[in-house]
Amino acid sequence: MTTTRLRIGTRGSPLALAQTRQLRALLAAALGLEAETLPIEVIRTTGDIIQDRPLSESGGKGLFTKELDVALIEGRIDLAVHSSKDLPTHLPPEIAIAGYLPREDVRDAWIGRNGATLDALPEGAVVGTASLRRGAQVKRLRPDVSLVLLRGNVETRLRKVESGEVDGTLLALAGLKRLGLERHATAILPIEDFLPAAGQGAIAVTKRAGDARVREALAAILDPATAAALAAERAFLTVLDGSCRTPIAAHAKLIGEEIEFHGMALRADGSAVYEARRRGPSMDAALIGDAAANEILLRLPNGVAGLT
């Protein structure tokens, strides 16, 4: 197998690069190569350029992936590394998800100014987030706090808490860990109140559909348990999130041969929550996520649009 020239594409954010180096190290070890023989191509995406408004208002889907898809299709790279959370539910037909690395911690971390917890924030405190899901989950517990848009990469957001621009923010613990910034977490939020985004904590690899060379090269480092969980979470998202404007959370985990699934759709102001829980054989993961989403759809008085 000629694998020595596999080119890896990624966004250029510190988190994207950390994830890509992790994948490259695993892949090189599995192939018995030096990591440096697998070149990393940094590709700027639309999502990296838009910084001043929520991505949900900018066309949402595919903002972090389109330029990487094009690079794959044009043969400039052979695989691309993504945060699964940022992968759209529908990919172009030329692109396939090869699989996922073993998942990191799926939970959200709370970063409070001067170490304050979410419970201990004074009335009317300001929480920064760009995530509709996190905003709705915060409002559900603390309807008195105000939400402001906080974008930028992980370091930028941490700085905005330190400088007092906001009293606190939420970030994926996985991202903090990968950047060696876990010490900034004031608290790790319980999964029941802060059910994560579909795909949170998982690194996905995409490739050209039908590229057997890349599929074979990756086989040893991809994790089937994460793939089963992601199949359920992505199916749930596919049914509920046509718009990227609805707060949706989903978490699946493999217990033995079974998938345990918990999904949630929230009204943006946190005033209503619709949940579904299911358990079933892991081979039915996508069906489980799909069924849970349809169960929630049936309970929504005005469909998903009623939640925005």
Chain contacts with ligand PBG (rule: CB under 6 A): 83, 85-86, 154, 171-172, 174-175, 200-201
Q: Is 103 exposed, middle or buried (0-12, 13-18, 19+ CB in 10 A)?
A: buried
- Taking a C-beta distance cutoff of 8 angstroms, is the pair 89, 210 a contact? no
Give the residue from 190, 211, 216, 153 showing the smallest Cα distance to 17: 153
CB of 222 vs ligand PBG, minimal distance in Å: 16
Cα–Cα distance, 210 to 95 (Å, whole number): 9
Catalytic residue numbers read 86
Residues in the chain: 308
CB of 283 vs ligand PBG, minimal distance in Å: 25
| Minimum CB distance to ligand PBG smaller for 45 or for 83 | 83
CB of 43 vs ligand PBG, minimal distance in Å: 16
Which residues have C-beta within 8 Å of that of residue 73, sequence separation ≥ 6? 92, 94, 95, 208
CB of 217 vs ligand PBG, minimal distance in Å: 22
Which neighbouring-strand residues pair with 263?
A: 250, 276
- Taking a C-beta distance cutoff of 8 angstroms, is the pair 292, 279 a contact? no
Cα–Cα distance, 229 to 91 (Å, whole number): 19
Q: Which two tokens stand for residue 10?
A: 């990624």
Helix (H, G, I), strand (E, B), or coil: what is residue 300?
coil
| Minimum CB distance to ligand PBG smaller for 101 or for 214 | 101
| Minimum CB distance to ligand PBG smaller for 171 or for 296 | 171
Which neighbouring-strand residues pair with 275?
A: 264
Q: How many CB atoms lie within 10 A of CB 77?
A: 24
Beta-sheet pairing, 258-266 with 273-281: antiparallel
CB of 172 vs ligand PBG, minimal distance in Å: 3
